[in-house]
A and B are shown apart, each in its own frame.
Chain A
Amino acid sequence: MSPGNVSLTSKSRRNLGSPFKSPENSISQTHHNIFDSDTGDSSPTPTRGNYKNSTKRKQRLPKNESIDTEHDDNEDTHELSPPTIPPKDDDLQGPNGRNLAKKALNRTKDRGSSVSERETTAITETPSTTLTNTTEDEANVNCPICNEPMVNLYQLNRHIDDIHSEGKEGRNSFADTEMGPKLSSISDGHGSLGKIFNNEFISSDIKKWFSNKSVEREVDYLSPSKRKIIKMDLLDDDRGFSLSDSSNGDVFREPSPGINSNLQNSASPPPKFKNRLSRSHWKHPSTTTSCSIRGCGKTLNVKNGVVNCRKCGLLYCYAHTNNRVRLKNSEIEGSPPVYDFGKDGIWCKCCETCYNNKPDLLEGTQANSRDLTGSFSKKRQELLDDKQLNRTKVQKRFIKLTNLLAEKSLLNKPENTNSIWNTISNNLAANKGELEREKIGYDNWQNDKDVTNCTICFVKFNVIIRKHHCRLCGKIVCDDPYGARKSCSIVVPLPKLMEKLSNLNYSRTVKENYDKIINNESLRFRCCVDCKNALLYDWKLESSKASGQNEELIFVIYNAILAQKHQIESLLPKYAKIVESTDESDETYTNRLRVKLMSFLKDFENLTIQFRNKFFVVHNNKLTVAEKFVADSRLITNIYQSSIMFLQENILWYKQLNDRHKEIEQERLEKSKKEKAAETPEPPRLTKKQIRELREELMVMNEQKFIVENLIQDYTKSRRFEELSSLQENKQELDKTIESLEAELGDFGF
């Protein structure tokens, strides 16, 4: 590897050229420094620690290397070295190495983005630099502890949770004494890594992890037979059972280095024993158990897995016990373990349900929802209250205005009936605003000069578009007597409003002269749209309520129509599917479906006709909404039209489907006919008498066969072979006859 040559190939060649020579190396894809010393090659080789791989390899390691690997792992973490491409090609160092290395690189490029990312960072690196300059980037994708590549931060998070927080504080003094200094040296030595390790939490986590690791290793290095014994012990343990126990977090891990004490049945159980989760709630597997997850339905066996959820104790398959929760034994004896997300909780397998039910997860999901209904309804109530207030105000003013106008008109009336308009107009002109202004209040009466635009439609006032005061709210609004725009105010005849608002608390004079005022068309005042709406709000509400009865009637029928429609909509596609799928489906089902559909369509049609008869009258060959329901004419016509449309479309489709179905049926019939013709004609159906006779005959034949068989035996015994031939002949004949009889009887035989 030449220092100046910073290229893809040089990098890969270096990777590939790493001293993977020993046969063990080809087994393991992870490189460890221990191997360097073993093989005599001491060059610092980039290493990518992969937790799983390393454990795998550890199992293969000879026993005496156990301590060294410890260091090794430590170094892994400490260096956070760039990845090594798993090199199987040990022989790539030859002259062809370059090309082969290229190939290898291409291969690795396919391994997903994270790998290639790291690749690029590694490429920029010069051979002499230590690898720390890349660590910052890599820390984003690699686990800072075991250097395992992660796709994203979420996965990393989970990975740390799952793998590196299993250990327990002070569980293993070995970790504290042996690993401690190492870790501190790590934090001293390397900048970015040091930053990470300065984080107390992480460093403690790492310590824990190492302590765990050492423990694991202790277990791992037991000779295979010993390991088996442990498994057996687990199985034999009368408190629990499992087929897949040994790798789980809750399995008791013996910290003590002594091999013997790894056996659970050792005489004096170490204090950690109490950490074992209770298994009394575990369900026992049987041969027919299936996964408890609804919809999984896998039969639990050695292949699919038979795993007890440590929390609920139910049985699940491997696929549904991939989650982990922290548990501790319940205070109450005999009840299942409870969640514990503190440090003392033991990581262990659980089912999806228990994982989703764990309190912190539930909390997490709850935190994402905020109930805004309260504040919303409060705001809305405020708005409604404002509007109500405004309505009351407007109503009050209207009453006052009515009183005023009525009194005026009554006073003026006797004077001159002919010139009522004049007097009023004069009066109004004279008192313009004064009285009304009084009623409304001077504060509300908008000043002409202050307003340039209509307060409702914001049109700019000019010579043509005049300013008008609403006599109820005092605001300046526009009017459009020519109908060019939508006018914001109108001169309303008082009687029209009074007609609708007859129950208001008018003054006595008004009430007394109600009839007169009602008939007096000359009484009128200007009112803006807003005020009119506010004034008539209650009336509209009431009138709509009155027409609600009609609506109810309409909706009763409409709901029935909708129900039919829904049925048709759900059934018709099904029918279409069945018809269009040419395979021979269940004929009875198809027919039932068709009949059902037909009845639904018919019902729908009937309902539509009923609807029409009820709400429409035929007038000059034209359908018009009946007078009674004119108020809801739009609704009625819309419903009717949509129903008719739906009916037309679907009936057409249904008919097409039916035709198609018939065709298919015909085809099938012909086909089957041909097939039948091709087949041998079926045996004629047997009458009961025939069956009885045939059965009788068959019985006789069987009896005779029995007799003849006995005879044959006897004759054989007495060695009278002369007669045997005819007996055997007879037996064959009997067999033939029986056979033919049985064939004739078919299903009716015995």
Chain B
Amino acid sequence: MSAPTSNQNPQSSQSTNRFAQFKLVLLGESAVGKSSIVHRFVKNTFDDMRESTIGAAFLTQTITLPESKTTIKFEIWDTAGQERYKSLAPMYYRNANAALCVYDITSRSSFSKAQDWIKELKKQAPEGIVIALVGNKSDLADSREVEESEVEEYIQQASEDGSSIITSECSAKSGDGVLEIFTSIAKSLPVEEAVGAGTNRNRAGAGNRRAGGVDLGRARRPEQASSGCC
């Protein structure tokens, strides 16, 4: 299991900016808005007529936590929610640092499905994975089926074994709460550890061409991070 891959910009490691890289996987029933959330987060766009995802999409986004002066890069695996692609999910959450279990607040079944995912994650996923239970489509609060109290109740129940689950509601359409979710995830991620691992061992880069002396990508990376996706 690959630990959080992290790297540190040699120029900024000591003073200004630290850098950490995390894998994040999105899980949830089909059509709850996983891809929409990701696209809102990564590209800040919303598509009304989004086609359902095939397999798992891969996207990256970087956020900066100003209080700890840390740049965190998310490698996001946006899995398809269709039952057909269920078998793909384990491959991605197995080495993920964070998992976003998305449900539709207008659909009870999607909530229970998200609960199932959480259960599965607790069983199968690596220790220390950050789980977030996200209710999407908060703009459709009128037809809400899943009450916030319900969610709270479930969270209390689920957190009995000591694990903590981030809960939040958002709307990919309006963009409300999307960034907050990722920020809170980034905060709960073991940033220090990842950064430390990166400086101490540079393990992730050991076998990779990134550490192999090619500095081009590294030098450019900050700009890339700010510009987001092409």
Contact = CB atoms under 8 A, between A and B. Distances in A.
Nearest to B73: A722
A726 B23 contact: yes
Interface string A709-738: 001000000111111111101100110010
A704 interface: yes
A92 interface: no
A701 B92 CA distance: 12
Contacts of B55: 700, 703-704, 707
Nearest to B87: A697
B5 A704 contact: no
Nearest to A718: B230
Given A725-B209, A733-B91, A720 B58 contact: no
A721 B205 CA distance: 12
A703 B54 contact: yes
B49 interface: no
B217 interface: yes
A536 interface: no
Given A719-B217, A721-B217, A722-B221, A701 B88 contact: yes
A210 to B, nearest CB: 89
Contact of A700 (B84, B210, B217): B84
A704 B5 CA distance: 22
Contact of B5 (A708, A726, A730): A726
A733 B84 CA distance: 19
Nearest to A715: B58
B88 A722 contact: no
A173 B42 CA distance: 108
B91 A734 contact: yes
B58 A708 contact: yes
A537 to B, nearest CB: 102
Contact of A723 (B54, B56, B57, B58): B58
A737 B5 contact: no
Interface in B199-216: 204, 208-210, 214, 216
B184 interface: no
A696 interface: yes
Given A718-B230, A723-B75, A726-B5, A707 B56 contact: yes
B85 interface: yes
Contacts of B209: 721, 724-725
Given A718-B230, A734-B91, A711 B224 contact: no
B2 interface: yes
A730 to B, nearest CB: 8
B74 to A, nearest CB: 11
B60 interface: yes
B91 A700 contact: no
Contact of B58 (A696, A711, A737): A711
Contacts of A730: 58, 77, 91-92
A103 B55 CA distance: 89
Interface string A541-566: 00000000000000000000000000
Nearest to B94: A733
A724 B217 CA distance: 11
Contacts of A697: 87
A723 B87 CA distance: 23
Contact of B91 (A707, A721, A723, A737): A737
Given A707-B55, A711-B58, A721 B88 contact: no
A496 B57 CA distance: 123
B54 A707 contact: yes
A703 B91 CA distance: 14
A725 B208 contact: yes
A721 B210 contact: yes
Interface of A: 696-697, 700-701, 703-704, 707-708, 711, 718-727, 729-730, 733-734, 737
11 contacts: A697-B87, A700-B55, A704-B55, A707-B55, A707-B56, A707-B57, A711-B58, A722-B224, A725-B208, A727-B58, A730-B58
